[in-house]
A and B are shown apart, each in its own frame.
Chain A
Amino acid sequence: MYAQMVKTEAKRVRSLDEMEPQERAFQQRIDAGQKIEPKEWMPEDYRKTLIRQISQHAHSEIVGQLPEGNWITRAPTLERKAILLAKVQDEAGHGLYLYCAAETLGISRDQMYEQLHSGKAKYSSIFNYPTLSWADIGAIGWLVDGAAIMNQVPLQRCSYGPYARAMVRICKEESFHQRQGFDIMTVLSKGTPEQKAMAQDALDRWWWPSLMMFGPSDDASVHSAQSMAWNIKQDSNDELRQKFVDQTVPQATYLGLTVPDPALKWNEAKGGHDFGEPDWTEFFAVIAGEGPCNRERLEARRKAWNDGAWFRDGLTAHAGKQAARRQASRIAAE
């Protein structure tokens, strides 16, 4: 997921009876499916958790530009180039919407960048894997965006108004992303033997990291329980992962590709697939900064930010000068 293992301060989820009247009223509104809006009262932990979750989601979008951005200049046709550029541009837009949503909670975008650049804030583990071939662009759209959509669709109904509205916009724009990825995979898997091998190799490398996107099982997690009580998380990690596998496996079959999991098989009794366990040691290492591309990704973000300081300052200075000039001519006219 684009926001993984978001922590709350909760030790356990309290019942309505245990809450003070203000918080009880707040929780009852959420239970009734109402939206919480920026200036309304909210528990401090709700606010902080949302900042963590939304900013992590935003960081994932802009760091997520990098692995795919890698291939914009190498896209194999003019149309593919335009489509990929439009997609990566959308991710910048989604990051922008999400940062704005988080800003309504009392943190600035620059502060969030600072947290990203210092390594304090996390972003999705998935973007720390390299894009080694053109098929990786297909696999990311198909698998990574496919996984993200599973989580983002229900978030359109989450309890925090600005976040929910940002997700509505994002989901609307994002629907072409998964399709473009699958389209690339389709062409490759029906192409030359080299192209098909390229597609299989991409699936082999992206399958497990995609399953890890949902995070480890959180059935026992108090943070997840609290987030669900607040309606800023709707499904458990395992539920989403199951849904993702069940949706994706037939698509892989259609492509004539093999999902790299020997344990994968249909379980008639449960009406879903059984599948193997991702390597959580690898997941935690990637989260801790030890993935194949963590350093490159953060370095690229820091460089863009630092190299752009003069530009942002130049525009600020000009806006100040213009305002002063207008003020002066207004005074002169009076």
Chain B
Amino acid sequence: MSAPASSSAVSAAVAEFALRMGDSCLILGHRNSEWCGHAPALEEDIALANTALDLIGQTQLWLGLACEAEGKGRTPDNLAFLRDVSGYRNLLLVEQPNGDFGRTLMRQYLFDAWHLPLLKALIGSADRRIAEIAEKASKEVAYHLERSADLVVRLGDGTAESHARMQAAVDFLWPYTGEMFLADAVDDELASAGLAPEPGLLKAAWQVHVGTTFAEATLKAPEKSFVQKGGRRGVHSEHLGYILAEMQFLQRAYPGASW
């Protein structure tokens, strides 16, 4: 344990952490919502919308905490609709285009398998606000993981085509998974204050889950892969700009209006 940080430094770290969580939830929820009305079966259309709704709900909680911790009088909507790409802190994984439904599900699975253990660890956070959000979100995310893992197995072990599509999804998305386990100064500070787990500590559980699921799904993780990173410090792929252009259109076109 390092020396206790000043309370304003802790607040800044909490705000940054809440932004990272909220932004990943928001962008993934947004991506999933793009499927609404276009999914391969009505039952899936409804199920994916449920996941998206959960994630948007979690976004509101995390961004609410970010606003509170930063204390600048901003609202979650200000954060969501008025920050540019460089202000966003989400993982690169979640901003990747949907691709086919298989890639969307694989992205969801790779995220869920990280998200759930993280939330479970956060239930023990020294910050009660973080712990409460994690408690609520973990119930939702446990179901997300159950469903996404199930579908990955079924499609991996389905037809030759579904297998090939799921394998292609793994290969495409894998480089974006490493970022989940990288730590920076903010993470170090959060970990030393007992606010959030060290990102690297989540890797083993994630690998076990993914390994088990892929074995059942007859899918292979790439043996070698580079790590794409930068999302959590505001350096994104080109895709995020388009997401924000669409998402923020009304707030940008009619500044200051209430909706």
Contact = CB atoms under 8 A, between A and B. Distances in A.
Contacts of A92: 36-37, 42, 45-46, 49
Contacts of A93: 46
Interface in A47-77: 62, 65-66, 69, 72-77
A265 interface: no
A85 B157 contact: no
- What is the interface residue range for chain B against chain A? 35 or more
Interface stretch (A187-195, A213-221, A234-242): A187-195
Interface string B64-105: 000000000000110011000000000000000000111000
B246 A69 contact: no
8 contacts: A78-B63, A82-B53, A85-B33, A191-B259, A311-B101, A312-B41, A314-B161, A318-B157
B56 A65 contact: no
Interface of A: 62, 65-66, 69, 72-82, 85-86, 88-89, 92-93, 95-96, 99, 134, 184, 187-188, 191-192, 194-195, 300, 303-305, 307-319, 321
Given A62-B37, A194-B254, A321-B157, A79 B60 contact: yes
Main secondary structure of the interface of B (DSSP, over half): helix
Contacts of A303: 38
Given A73-B34, A310-B159, 5 more contacts: A76-B250, A134-B259, A191-B257, A303-B38, A313-B161
B60 A304 contact: no
B154 A318 contact: yes
Contacts of B40: 304-305, 307-309, 311-312
Contacts, number: 150
Main secondary structure of the interface of A (DSSP, over half): helix
Contacts of A305: 40
Contacts of B249: 74
Contacts of B39: 304, 308
Contacts of A195: 254, 257
A265 B16 CA distance: 59
A273 B257 CA distance: 35
Contact of B36 (A69, A96, A99, A184): A69
Given A314-B161, A314-B162, A77 B259 contact: yes
B162 A307 contact: no
Given A78-B60, A89-B36, A195-B254, A95 B42 contact: yes
